[in-house]
Chains A and B, each alone.
Chain A
């Protein structure tokens, strides 16, 4: 490689990858995916297939804006969003676990219902169609971390985000601690891995699952709150845009581990961010940028599964060679 091409390569890398603004964008765009991923994680670790995350995100986003609008306070908005997550999660758990509705049918119905209900409520309550923005809606303010914010690159990279970005990071740590260092976490894993065995050990399986679904509602609603108050301060119909399902994919890549979910979400944030850069430079036609996260999900799922298969196969071969 001659000096000219390597200089060009460096400038491309700088433009698209190694600059602070890009990495900030990546961390921001990863946030709702992290939270949606945790929503999928907590239920999948309890052995529940919860596809209702998408609907829960939508409700969270809507109620956050409603709370913030009526009380002109972002924290009330946050609270309203979380409450909606608890209510929707609770209803989902009640119907699918207690009243034995088929959980996938329930999930499909909740997602479609959430879509219709939020469009209906936007028109009924705010008298608006499609989107709702108003100066009365207070967004969450950026937090500037003292001391850290003055450190040259690190300060820019890690300081100045809104509360939910930090909360998502903290929740990754808390979920790890919860899963592996607390008795409740052990119970949850036991229920997910072998419900019969868990039951004989005296664990109240239905109660653990109910709690897991409620928790997933809170995680998903936080993702929604971030979408409507964390960055833009407005509500748009269907603003969840498939993140509930991308969260499920991220949980797969992360192998059900919180740290794995975090890393996989960063990858998604990165794809999102680079798409916008490419569009800004007219290197990618419009609409293809919007398509990117979904294409990336399909590609990543395929590559991930193929690699895991290959790994399993070679492990099997190694085992048979030893004999």
Chain B
């Protein structure tokens, strides 16, 4: 069997068994919660895929995750842990909202301008931690987490004071109709996506996936990003401009997260409600880990996570089981997946002596 095929096979076995293990641990949690696990999993599945409405809600929940997950994967692949996608998503969303309600333009200009603002704001928010890492060597893990908190409180201030439009809740004015991304239910006059707020932003998300995939596969820039992520000294030796590559990767990552924030606002919410977006970024980080930092894998993981989230929300409403159950399950899958040493019994499929980096490259080539 060719090496790359072996590696792929091993990854799938690993993923399947990890999911199985997580399902088993999840069953124990449900039994402790005095629920029948089979019934709960059935309900979870039905709330995610069981009807047209369920499928559209799954799409709606997956859309922002595709952005944050691709943003995470892009950073992970260039060798940085951008755990700041959470804050970059918020910042893109709030500035997108601002341009959405404060500017008056025809739609053909207004919508692109608003999306561009989201992208730029996210990139700027990623700029500070990037420079701190680049110029001073300060760990981006600490700094991006700090910028998440700063973003949260900055936005609470903005929605409570200068941008506040409602006396009862902390929220901004609605964005103008010229900056709105249409929902499927609006486009089809109720024929598709009834009861959901799924919107055409999913196509923007898929376009971003396609662009990033293309950059990684076919361009010099993508090659440089990959090399920097795989081996820092080697790529320096190979004459890659490390500063430019690293800064570029991180800013584009922040930009994609910010664009995702703007898309979520323009498609689903159409105004910024304080604290609406908590967790989109962290779930994106997890989806990237679930997809093994591979562009296509990450996209599938984000779609999976989004639909499971929709399922968990259904469970919460119908059976009163806290929706965090799904985050717990995804966390468990990642624990099991990442634990290389647990998979040694797969010795026959395992390539002896392969390093993580090697396995990652072969995985990408497959």
Contact = CB atoms under 8 A, between A and B. Distances in A.
Q: Do these two chains really belong together in a complex?
A: yes
Nearest to B143: A298
A230 B142 CA distance: 26
A287 B150 CA distance: 9
A101 B285 CA distance: 16
Nearest to B144: A245
Nearest to B283: A112
Nearest to B141: A51
A93 to B, nearest CB: 12
B128 A108 contact: no
A99 B344 CA distance: 10
Nearest to B161: A285
B331 A113 contact: yes
Q: Which of B149, B160, B161 has the most CB of A within 10 A?
A: B149
B327 A108 contact: no
Interface in B319-352: 322, 324-325, 327-328, 331-332, 334-335, 338-342
Given A108-B289, A116-B327, A305 B154 contact: no
Contact of A297 (B141, B146, B327): B146
Contacts of B325: 120
A290 B286 CA distance: 27
A297 B142 contact: yes
A287 B153 contact: yes
A249 B143 CA distance: 9
B342 A99 contact: yes
B312 to A, nearest CB: 10
Interface in A297-323: 297-298, 301-302, 305-306, 309
Interface stretch (B3-11, B132-140, B175-183, B296-304): B132-140
User: Interface residue tally of chain A, by bracket?
Assistant: 35 or more
B339 A101 contact: yes
A295 interface: yes
Q: Is the interface of B mostly helix, strand, loop or mixed?
A: helix
A132 B305 CA distance: 29
Contacts of B282: 112, 115
Contacts of B289: 105, 108-109
A268 B266 CA distance: 39
A242 interface: yes
A7 interface: no
A298 B41 CA distance: 44
Contacts, number: 125
B327 A113 contact: yes
B157 A249 contact: no
A298 B334 CA distance: 30
B149 A294 contact: yes
Nearest to B72: A108
B344 to A, nearest CB: 9
A295 B146 CA distance: 7
A99 B161 CA distance: 50
A110 B285 CA distance: 12
B328 A301 contact: no
A184 B136 CA distance: 33
B136 A287 contact: no
Contact of B338 (A109, A116, A241, A305): A109
B83 interface: yes
A242 B356 contact: no
Interface in B136-192: 136-139, 141-143, 145-147, 149-150, 153-154, 156-157, 160-161
A305 to B, nearest CB: 4
Interface in B66-92: 81, 83
B340 A101 contact: yes
A168 B83 CA distance: 29
Contacts of B160: 286-287
B98 to A, nearest CB: 17
Contacts of A259: none
Contacts of B331: 109-110, 112-113, 116-117
Contacts of A309: 136
A207 interface: no
Rank and list the top 4 A-B pairs by shortest CB-CB distance, nearest first.
A113-B331, A116-B327, A99-B341, A101-B338
Interface of A: 51, 95, 98-102, 104-106, 108-110, 112-113, 115-117, 119-120, 123-124, 241-242, 245, 248-249, 285-288, 290-291, 294-295, 297-298, 301-302, 305-306, 309
27 contacts: A100-B339, A101-B335, A104-B141, A108-B81, A109-B331, A112-B282, A113-B327, A116-B327, A124-B33, A124-B322, A241-B149, A245-B141, A245-B142, A245-B145, A248-B139, A285-B157, A287-B157, A287-B160, A290-B149, A291-B154, A294-B146, A295-B146, A302-B136, A302-B138, A305-B137, A305-B138, A306-B136
Interface of B: 33, 81, 83, 128, 132, 136-139, 141-143, 145-147, 149-150, 153-154, 156-157, 160-161, 282-283, 285-286, 289, 322, 324-325, 327-328, 331-332, 334-335, 338-342, 356
